[in-house]
Amino acid sequence: MSTLGGYNKKHKVTVVGSGNWGSAIAKIVAENAREHPQLFEEMVQMWVYEEELTVPTTSKHYDPGSKFSTQPHKLTRLINHFHENVKYLPGIALPSNLIANPSLEESVHDSTILIFNLPHQFIGGLCDQMKGHILPYARGISCIKGVSVDSHDVRLFSESIGDKLGIYCGALSGANIANEVAQEKFSETTIAYDPPPMDSRNPSRNPTPKAGTPHGHTPSSSQLDLTAINEHKDARGKTSKVKLTVPPPDLAPIDHNLLETLFYRPYFHAQVVSDVAGVSLGGALKNIVAIATGFVAGMGWGDNAKAAVMRVGLLEMVKFGKMFFSTSVRTETFTEESAGVADLITSCSGGRNYRCAKMSVERNISIHEVEKEELNGQMLQGLSTAEDVYGFLKARGKEDEFPLLVGTYSEYLDPNGCVDTAELTNGGTGILQGERRVQDLPDMMAPK
């Protein structure tokens, strides 16, 4: 990695979210902030949704003679005392320069880099709370996998955050199982960030070393004063409605080099690209493919069948991206990056969507029943994504062009043709509407 420095101001980093993945990412950026004092303030803030608990009896910190083990304490107090998230990432030591903070407003105050890592349904409310409390020139990275889809549109979570807060936000996604990353088992990730013109191509700065972006090459300083530009392009190549604020020149530009420095660890290799839409779509569509792969695994069809489903699924993921985000999506994002093929392989090998689909076939019950029995109140992301993508494609008459993505939702039922009665009661077509069986998958995938 290149050495960065020579700027008077340092970046302050805040992680918004403290679940297992949020804590794992916070660990990484706190380690790097401490190792690069020329770029970052040493202390990294992590916003924590406050709750009270005692140290679990299974924790190495459990001591029957300690008040932490016998009386409820605030989670932030426990994290800051033990330097461990004893509830959501137990057994993993967190850096001492990572500060758990229950106040969202205090956590993001004066931060120039905001890393979002929380359930997507909380984005809107938390962004509303943050308004008026962040720097106008702050920039963000969303670690929230997936996209928001309905019959009208596909929205990137990173752009939803950016629109709410009036900032630019990129995305991070990949084959990243939180516990494995936290245990420092080797893995890779993909960071998607298309630097706004006034950030990386300001004549007074060193331009980002990654040549070109989907929206053009870097102009020379004699051609244009980019400090006067506050517009940037969204993932569809249209001018964003967000008018950005230019960061001060004495602050290192947030470009590909800086993001690699912030996220790259010897055990966590980060590749930075400009394709925000491709990285985001990969994190969503792979869940549908994982369900289809789980179905054929449950049938006992073997590895050849699973590989066939994954191959067709990958092609449809690329096609979806190129069809609806043609100006920015790159095929290589899906075929070469961790956020594409690697995340697909992981999800289709042992992820929750794969496992639950496999069990539904093996047990001859609805996948919704498996979800209730196995996930302790959590929801399978692939089910809602499959339904939303189906509705989006149907509204455009594109169902026939995506037989696997569409068929997984609209035509799958268990091996004996059992209909999901809950879906019928709710009046929807549903994931188990009973038109096809899993045995029909090869015909559905056959070239037309």
Q: Mind telling me the catalytic residues?
A: 286
User: How far separated are the first and last CA of the chain, in Å rounded?
Assistant: 47
Report the alpha-carbon distance of residue 275 to residue 182 in Å, rounded: 26
CB atoms within 10 A of CB 74: 15
Report the alpha-carbon distance of residue 311 to residue 186 in Å, rounded: 25
- Least Cα distance to 415 among 444, 443, 439 occurs for 439
Report the alpha-carbon distance of residue 167 to residue 161 in Å, rounded: 8
CB atoms within 10 A of CB 110: 13
Cβ contacts of 15 within 8 Å, gap of 6 or more: 22, 25, 26, 29, 44, 45, 46, 47, 115, 117
Q: What is the SS3 assignment for 50?
A: coil
Q: Is the dihedral of CA 299, 444, 149, 104 positive or negative?
A: positive
Report the alpha-carbon distance of residue 349 to residue 346 in Å, rounded: 5
Q: Is the dihedral of CA 11, 117, 52, 94 positive or negative?
A: negative
User: ∠251-255-256 over CA atoms, to 5°?
Assistant: 145
**Length in residues, the chain:** 448
Strands 187-192 and 168-173: antiparallel
Look at phi and psi of residue 292 and say left if phi exceeds 0, alpha if psi is from -120 to 50, else beta. Answer: alpha
